[in-house]
Amino acid sequence: MKLAVVAAAVLWGTAGTAGLLVAGVDPVSLAAARLVIGGLVIAVATGPAIRSLPRKGLLLPAAVAVAAYQLCFFASVGRTGVAVGTVVAIGSGPVFTGLLSWLLDRVPPTRRWAGATAVAITGCAALIGGGGEARLDGILLALLGGLLYAFYAVTAARMIGAGAPSDAVMGAMFGGAGIVMLPVLLWTGTAWLAGPRGLLTALYLGCATTALAYILYGRGLRTTPVATAATLALAEPAVAALLGVVVLGERLTPTSVAGLALLGASLAVVALPERRRSRRAAAAAIESSA
């Protein structure tokens, strides 16, 4: 189900290009509308399953983390610039996810995952490029955003691993996040939603890049370790960069092209099945039963 995680990342990667269709809108308002609409759609679609979830209270902190991640990310970008804030927030997410998974579930990261993730983060940094100021408060907010992402991803993965339906887990988590972000949307203004372009953009961001994407991501978590899924999600900036070239007519610098190649190669390594590890595990099982 790694393909489902990659498909989710592809959808996330289209969000930036789609957001540019609405000029002059506060990015926080755009993100809030995305979560409110997406949360409503996914909650309605998975409503019956959500009601059957045991221990729904465990998802409340995760829902708050989903909303808080958006606020931390945009606050970080406002202080350090898009490049630095994005690299730190997106790049630290897989690292925090691997550490939390190790701490809570005693699942140590493999050397292949650690190496590929380090290369992927390097490629992501090169792809996005320089720009911005390395302000300490902005860096800390971006790191907090990465930690929040890891927290809600690991929480979802643990519940899914315990047998909860993935669609219901994502419905409860993002439905709750939509409720949390509704006051933010009202506070930042909704006038831009009255125009057809604004409304269609918000619907796409909510329905496709949030509701559908996280349903796919949740289904991927059924069989994909959460640390691996977090690394595969780094396909998002690669898709965004390619769309910038194809749709927006942007040009990639040689450094960005090298970063894209590094990122693609590392994601391919992570996506490959760990055959050697499974063989060793099978051999160990045979020896223990003998």
Tell me the two tokens of residue 148: 């929040």
**How many C-beta atoms surround the C-beta of residue 109 within 10 A?**
20
pLDDT score of 89: 85
> How many domains is the chain built from?
1
CB under 8 A, 24+ apart: contacts of 71-74 = 71/28, 71/184, 72/141, 72/142, 72/144, 72/145, 72/148, 73/141, 73/142, 73/145, 74/27, 74/28, 74/31
Provide, rounded to the nearest whole percent, the portion of the chain with pLDDT above 90: 46
pLDDT score of 262: 87
Taking the C-alpha atoms of residue 7 and residue 213, their distance in angstroms, rounded to an integer, is 7
Q: How far is CA 282 from the centre of its chain?
A: 33
| pLDDT tens, residue by residue, 257-281 | 888 888 889 888 888 776 544 444 4
Q: State the pTM of this model.
A: 0.86
Residue range 15-31: average pLDDT? Answer: 86
Question: What residues make up the domain containing 183?
Answer: 2-289
Please state the φ and ψ torsions of residue 238, each to the nearest 5 degrees: -65, -45
Quick one: DSSP state of residue 24?
T
Burial class (CB in 10 A: 0-12, 13-18, 19+), 230: buried
